[in-house]
Amino acid sequence: MAQFIQLIILGLLVGSLYALIGIGLVLIYRSSGVLNFAQGYLVMIGAMFVWSFAGWLAMPIVPSILLGLGGAWLLGMLIERLAVRPLLGQPILSTIVMTLALSLVLMGIATVSWGPLGLSYPSKIFPEEMWHLGAVWVPQLQFWTLVVTGAILGGLLFYCARSKSGLAMQAIADDTQCSRTLGVKATSVLSLSWALSAIVAAMGGYLIGNMIGLEVLSMPMFGFKAIAAMIVGGMESLTGVLCGGLLIGIAEYMACGYLDPWLAAVGWGGGIRDVFPFVVLVMVLLVKPYGFFGWKRIERV
């Protein structure tokens, strides 16, 4: 029982990160209809931006986070302007291959700039000790990560529901034609959603880098797992991606706790948490393809 609770807690902690990155994906998908396969690479680049200010320029951590987020904002706007906007209304294959090619470009640039080796932030803002609650232990670092993630998620949900530009985003997602008629500028909403998404990705990247260190090759995986979370929740829904992220995180740790010992016993060597989100993804696609909160579109010839 203690192990079960332990796994749920760890799953929630990592799941909140998937939810955070997934929110960026949903923002982009709703405003432009593009599923951004390069989100994991934006996570990695954002984290590396922060590291550049903290590591290379030896700045204190808080200003370097802010500057890194600013860099991510610019990068998001740049990608939107150069690669996404010309593709509006193009077939879905074009947008998919575009984001995939973008991920190759970002990966190449990151490998050249920061090298393939692991890095870590020079100073951490969260304490690293464990909390022991009976038989269950909670890593404090990850707990504070969860708190920050929750605060960002809450802020984003509030922003989308209440502020003028957030409402404009919702309107564009609902009905682009109608909201343009009513005076919402679609291009600036698009630009804003990509910039916001890049910032959220960079923040997620910083939190991940704080937890497990920075590595160019392995960080993009978080983006792909966030895509799985997004599908489980339904591609259009912010609440959906929140639930999906937590579900994927818990499923991942459950698999890690209960399947890995068995896999190691039969010689497969464990490590199933790397792919378990995708197993869940395939199962969800087979059973409930539009996720738990997604919009099922009705098609006519």
Partner 1 sequence: MSLPCGTYNRSYARDMAIIRTRAQWGMAIAGIALLCCFPRFIPLAWLNVLNFTMITMIAVFGLSILTGYTGQINIGQSAFMGVGAYTSAVLATNFGLPFWVALPCAGIMAGVTGLIFGAPSLKVKGLYLALATLAAQFILHWVFMHWPYLGGHEGVSAPYPSIAGISLKTTGSYFYLLLGLTLLMGIFAKNIVRTRLGRAFIAIRDNDKAAEGMGINVYNYKLLAFFIGCFYAGIAGSLLAHYTGFANYDFYTLDDSVWMLGMLIVGGLGGIMGAVYGTLFIKLIEQAFLINAPRMGLSTVQGATLGTVLLGIVIVIFIIFEPRGLQHRWELFKASYRLWPFSY
Q: Which of 21, 25, 43, 102 binds partner 1 (CB under 8 A)?
A: 102
Q: What x-and-dash track marks residues 254-293 binding partner 1 by CB under 8 A?
A: ---------x---xxx-xx-xx--xx-xx--xx--xx---
Q: Which of 248, 290, 247 is nearest to 273 (CA)?
A: 248
Closer to partner 1 by CB, 58 or 301: give it: 301
Q: Which of 98, 72, 300 is nearest to 206 (CA)?
A: 72
Q: Which of 107, 173, 251, 256 binds partner 1 (CB under 8 A)?
A: 107
Which of the residues 54 through 73 are near partner 1 (CB under 8 A)? none
Residues composing the chain: 301
- Least spacing, CB of residue 277 vs partner 1, in Å: 9
Q: Which of 2, 109, 130, 151 binds partner 1 (CB under 8 A)?
A: 109
What CA–CA distance (Å, rounded) separates 218 from 107? 11
Tokens of 211: 């937890």
Cβ proximity of 293 and 237 under 8 Å: yes
Closer to partner 1 by CB, 27 or 272: give it: 272
Q: Which of 218, 164, 215, 213 is nearest to 192 (CA)?
A: 164
Closer to partner 1 by CB, 157 or 259: give it: 259
Following DSSP, what letter does each residue of 187-253 receive, concatenated? Answer: HHHHHHHHHHHHHHHHHHHHHHHHHH-B-TTTTHHHHHHHHHHHHHH-TT-HHHHHHHHHHHHHHHH
**Contact flag: residue 217 with partner 1 (CB under 8 A):** no
Q: Which of 59, 61, 78, 87 binds partner 1 (CB under 8 A)?
A: 87
**Contact flag: residue 83 with partner 1 (CB under 8 A):** yes
- Least spacing, CB of residue 94 vs partner 1, in Å: 5
Bridge partners of 214, per DSSP, are 119
Residue whose structure tokens are 């068995």: 262
Q: Which of 156, 170, 193, 168 is nearest to 79 (CA)?
A: 193
How many residues make contact with partner 1 (CB under 8 A)? 47
- Least spacing, CB of residue 248 vs partner 1, in Å: 12
CB neighbours of residue 91 within 10 Å? 8
**Contact flag: residue 97 with partner 1 (CB under 8 A):** yes
- Least spacing, CB of residue 206 vs partner 1, in Å: 24
- Least spacing, CB of residue 18 vs partner 1, in Å: 15
User: Angle between the 220-233 and 276-287 helix axes, to the nearest 10 degrees?
Assistant: 30
Q: Which of 194, 168, 179 is nearest to 73 (CA)?
A: 194
Which of the residues 19 through 58 are near partner 1 (CB under 8 A)? 35, 37
| List of residues contacting partner 1 (CB under 8 A) | 35, 37, 83, 86-87, 90, 92-94, 96-98, 100-105, 107-109, 111-112, 224, 227-228, 231, 235, 263, 267-269, 271-272, 274-275, 278-279, 281-282, 285-286, 289-290, 299-301
